[in-house]
Structure 1
Amino acid sequence: MPVDHLDPELAALVYLLRDLTSQAEGGLRGLSARLKPEHLDGLAPPSYSTLSQRLRGENLLNDPRLIFAIIRTCALPGQAVTLEERAKHLLEASRSRSAAQTQVEPKNRTGSSPQDQELKVALQRTIELQQQLAEAHRAVAELQRSLAWAHGHLVGSLTQQPRLADGPAVLLGTQEQRSGAEHRAETPGAVNPLVADGDPEPEQRAPSESRLLDLTRHASTAAESQGEVRHEDSEVKQVHAALSDIDRDGSRTALALRQAIDVVLDGPRTGRYSWHQLTKTEKMHLSTQVEISLAEALGLRQGRTTGHEIAGSRINFRFARDHTWLIPPGGVGELFLLVAANDDKSHWSAGVVRAERHLLARGGNRDGKQALSASGRTAVQWLFRDAPLPENSLLHLPEQILTAVLSHRSGQERIDELFRTVQCQKISSNAIATVTMQRDYMKRIRHSRRTLSREGTVIFGSYEAHSNLARKLGLPVPGPSEWISARLARFADHHGCRPTIELDGDLWTLATDDDAIEPVPRIPMS
């Protein structure tokens, strides 16, 4: 149900609670059945109809116990604290706004005199006019952008000069030129660098042309339908630069995304390893978990109302699996950090954009959310695009091998089969925990080392000695919480120039299919 009649902070709080409720088993009715007096400091739980009213924003500010009870009941482990802090910020901001509006109303009046009624009607009419005026300002701004683009396009066509092709520096002047031009306009005798020699100054031009040039200079975003002009948004640039400084190579973001996906899959408990195995509710929760993980990894501060703060700007977050981000109605004109991660393709992307209305596709879903249009996707200032996501080891195994691994009844048998059949490639700790379906998997690995050594297979970990041996054999070097298994054979003449390592005084190399199976010595830990 729309919440346009609510103030922005209260609307954000309502959306937060609705998202949590939709993720809960059984939805709103399931939540109503699960709420108990102990969740509400001993008070009786609200009825289903009352709960429904609160999630429409009715009297929600006066029921903080219910807000935090919903969060504690519906949030997944590790989420509750962060979501409670966000709810507190939204509550305080909404109450502050309500208090400020209340101060406008006449004070110390107890009656309901005709004068009171007239004042209330006038106040309500004033608020409505302010809203209409804000809408008019937005419409004028969009019209100015269209006029600016039309003027630039027309002038470029008439003069046959590559104004549009040369970009904003030719048509609009650089940011430094515009700032300098404004300064010189106030200085007697100053020369305007945006006016060619012999041309009259803007105030000497025909009124329509002068007005169009002024709109061109101050338009916040030029149309990009054909990729002609792209006005630089200084706030977008600042946020982009700050995020680039925080994570220059993208490793922190990539690891946070890997961890967020693994948390939602919850392999050690469920045995799941694929996004396609999640329920609809769990898929919706992935966006929240990614936001939490990224905020922690990048050190983003919680915004005073919604979103996060970076470089002095408030930025909202949107996650999608395949670049299909949806912008809510209240997000038009706001800054967004857009993140996408696809576990099937093992890549991720992140970028910053201001969600201007002309960058959104027509239409939307039933909640009024709109996707970015083609020009909107072009406007994204990418931090990373299709960067490698740490691989989900199990997801990319051939189906026949994965079926053979998971067919064993015990966790120890499954991990033995995994190291026996999946060799010479990295296996993550989360994959091992998923296969064994237990978090304490290290003893399983130690047992596998003893068992598989009799078959000639060694298991390299992230110890320095192991890394050196793997490197000498030409294997990928395991990082923290990674393992690699390989079958070895005693070096013989038929191995030719294959790389070798020394174990117990003998040379060993990677075994071929023709090499007989023989026990291998224990590899050193240091």
Structure 2
Amino acid sequence: MGHPFSIFERPFDPALEEVAAELLRLDPYGEHWAEVLRHTYDMIYNGQETGRYRWDQLMKTEKTHFGTLFEINAQRKFGFADGDSTDYRIVDQQVDAKRSQTEGAWMLPPEIIDEIALVATASDQDSVWSLGLIRVTTDVRKESVNRDKKSQLNDFGKRSVRWIWRNAPLRPNVLLQLPQRIVDEIFDHRHGTQRTHRLFRAAEGRVVHRNIVATVSRQLDPQKRVRYNGGSRSALQPEGYLILSGLYHHGIAQALGVPVPLADEYISVRVVPSTDETGALIEGRCWRRARPGETVEEPAPRIGEEPEERDVTSG
């Protein structure tokens, strides 16, 4: 995921470095922290019920609640003990978790003065996240406070964050990658099944998380809208589309030269028969990814489906 990164402008803090070392021991590449943030975004959007997929679609109270969900989800993921006046106790150090949509805008209450803050930020739009540590002393805080006596980091404090991961990749939200007019067209149909078909047409060659399918379909058992027997696999097959599951079709994705989805993701690929026997061998024939604008004259081959596929959930 990301690579450890740090900037030191303050005196060496052994306790803070112990916490940093423990975080790296628990998650050397930041993969689990990235999962926590992705999962928290998906929880707060609640796309299957609301159809929302962007930060600016949330109510103010929901945006505020994101930080609480992030703290809870991180504690569940890593099993941190409760702190006394802080959220966690990590290697016997009091650590308070703070998340902000904007780097440096973390709100720091007076009760964590002289304690360690775990500060995180993320952008679903840009598919990046960062996480670091800072000892919250009076010299790193702004003098101004709000009604709750909370304050933010001053310029010195922002420079003094001990970054562990900086601008590491966040699993993308495909609805934020597509042009807005295309997304509007996807949602501009009364039936969830048709919206799902439009999604896989528009997102050809892009990874689609299962939560996005749920957001677009807004139906019970949204993954049923992907499968054969009435789902997008059968509806788009005559147009040359395969819809690959990361759980069972990663080999086909590799052979077709497209991004390989994870177990809770899909990728749609428009294919044509391969005349030089390169590409993916499916049903006894070789198939390759169709070039942009290339006419598809044969239906896509049928790929296998496994019943366990519907039991995979995001974390």
Is TM > 0.5 for Structure 1 vs Structure 2? Answer: yes
Worse-matched range after superposition: 426-435 or 240-249 = 240-249
Q: 1:471 & 1:235 partners in 2: Cα distance?
A: 45
Does the CA contact (< 8 Å) of 2:233 and 2:242 recur in 1? yes
In 1: Cα distance, 2:50 partner to 2:187 partner = 13
- Call closer, same or farther: CA 1:367–1:304 in 2, change over 3 Å: closer
Taking the aligned partners of 1:326 and 1:304, their CA distance within structure 2 comes to 19
Work out the CA distance in 2 between the residues paired with 1:438 and 1:259.
20
CA deviation after TM superposition for structure 1 residue 378, in Å: 1.9
Q: 1:228 to 1:414 in 2, by over 3 A?
A: closer
Aligned mates of 1:259, 1:234 — CA distance in 2? 32
Partner residue in 1 for 2:66: 286
- Does the aligned pair in 2 maintain the 1:456–1:489 contact within 8 Å? yes
2: CA distance, partners of 1:371 / 1:409: 45
Q: Residue 506 of structure 1 corresponds to which residue in structure 2?
A: 285
1:347 match = 128
> Which residue in the other structure is 1:457 paired with?
241
Deviation at 1:415, TM superposition (A): 0.3
Q: Does 1:485 align with 2:268?
A: yes
For 1:453, give the aligned amino acid. Answer: Q
1:211-247 deviation digits (Å, cap 9, x = unpaired):
xxxxxxxxxxxxxxxx996311111111111111111
Answer whether contact 2:274 2:286 (CA < 8 A) is retained: yes
**Match of residue 153 from structure 2:** 372
Instruction: State yes or no: 1:331 paired with 2:112.
Output: yes
Residues 1:239 and 2:16 aligned together? no
The alpha-carbon deviation at position 504 of structure 1 amounts to 2.7
Deviation at 1:259, TM superposition (A): 0.4
Q: Matches of residues 393-412 of structure 1 in structure 2 within 5 Å?
A: 393-412=174-193
Taking the aligned partners of 1:354 and 1:503, their CA distance within structure 2 comes to 57
Match of 1:296 in 2: 76
Measure how far apart 1:525 and its partner are: 4.4
- Counterpart in the other structure of 2:297: 517
Q: After alignment, is 431-440 or 406-415 more displaced?
A: 431-440
Distance in 2 (CA, whole Å) between partners of 1:283 and 1:270 is 15
Query: Once superposed, what is the RMSD of the aligned Cα atoms?
Result: 1.9
| Structure 2 residue matching 1:238: 3-state secondary structure | helix
Conservation of the 8 A alpha-carbon contact between 1:268 and 1:433: yes
Question: Which residue in the other structure is 1:54 paired with?
Answer: none
Structure 1 distance, partners of 2:267, 2:62, is 31
Unmatched 5+ residue regions in structure 1?
1-226
CA distance in 2, matches of 1:265, 1:386: 22
Q: Judge conservation of contact 2:130–2:168 (CA < 8 Å) in 1.
A: yes
Structure 2: distance between partners of 1:515 and 1:334: 63
Q: In structure 1, what is the Cα distance between the partners aligned to 2:99 and 2:296? A: 51
Q: Flag the 1:332–1:458 CA change in 2: closer, same or farther, 3 A.
A: same
Q: Deviations over 1:484-524 (max 9, x none)?
A: 111111224xxxx7942223332221123232332122023
Normalising by structure 1, what TM-score? 0.54
* SS of residue in 1 equivalent to 2:174: coil
Structure 2 CA distance for partners of 1:373 and 1:508, relative to 1, 3 Å: same
Partner of 2:3: none
Alignment of 1:191-340 (within 5 A): 230-323=10-103, 324-340=105-121
2:167 and 2:301 map into 1 onto residues whose CA distance is: 42
Whether the aligned pair in 1 keeps the contact of 2:256 and 2:280 (CA below 8 Å) is: yes
Q: Which amino acid aligns with 1:468?
A: G
Matched, 1:469 2:256: no
Shift of 1:345: 1.7
Larger RCO (CA under 8 A, 6+ residues apart)? 2
Pairing of 1:410-421 with structure 2 (within 5 A): 410-421=191-202
| Paired position in structure 2 for 1:359 | 140
Distance 2:302 2:221 in 1: 23
Higher strand share: 2
Alignment of structure 1 residues 74-223 onto 2, 5 Å? none
Counterpart amino acid of residue 456 in structure 1:
G
Give the Cα separation in 2 of the matches to 1:467 and 1:484.
10
SS at match of 1:509: strand
Q: 1:256 to 1:439 in 2, by over 3 A?
A: farther
Tell me the amino acid that sits aligned with residue 150 of structure 2. Answer: K
Look up the SS of the partner of 1:326 in the other structure: coil
Asked whether the 8 Å contact 2:71–2:87 carries over to 1, the reply is: no
Q: Which has the larger radius of gyration?
A: 1
SS in 2 for 1:400: helix
CA distance in 2, matches of 1:453, 1:400: 25
Describe the superposition over 1:281-332 as per-residue Cα deviations: whole angstroms up to 9, x where unpaired: 1111101001101111122111245421110111111110111112112222
Alpha carbons of structure 1 residues 510 and 263: separation in structure 2 relative to 1, 3 Å? same
Q: Distance in 2 between matches of 1:303 and 1:439?
A: 40
* 2:208 is equivalent to residue 424 of structure 1: no
**Pair 1:444-2:228 in alignment:** no
CA distance in structure 1 between the partners assigned to 2:111 and 2:163 by the alignment: 23
- Name the CA shift for 1:360/1:520 in 2 (closer, same or farther; >3 Å): same
For 1:490 and 1:228, the matched residues in 2 are separated by: 56
Separation (CA, whole Å) in 2 of partners of 1:248 and 1:228 = 20
What is the one-letter code of the residue matched to 1:400? R
Q: CA 1:228–1:266 in 2, change beyond 3 Å: closer, same or farther?
A: closer
- TM-superposed CA distance for 1:439, in Å, is 4.9
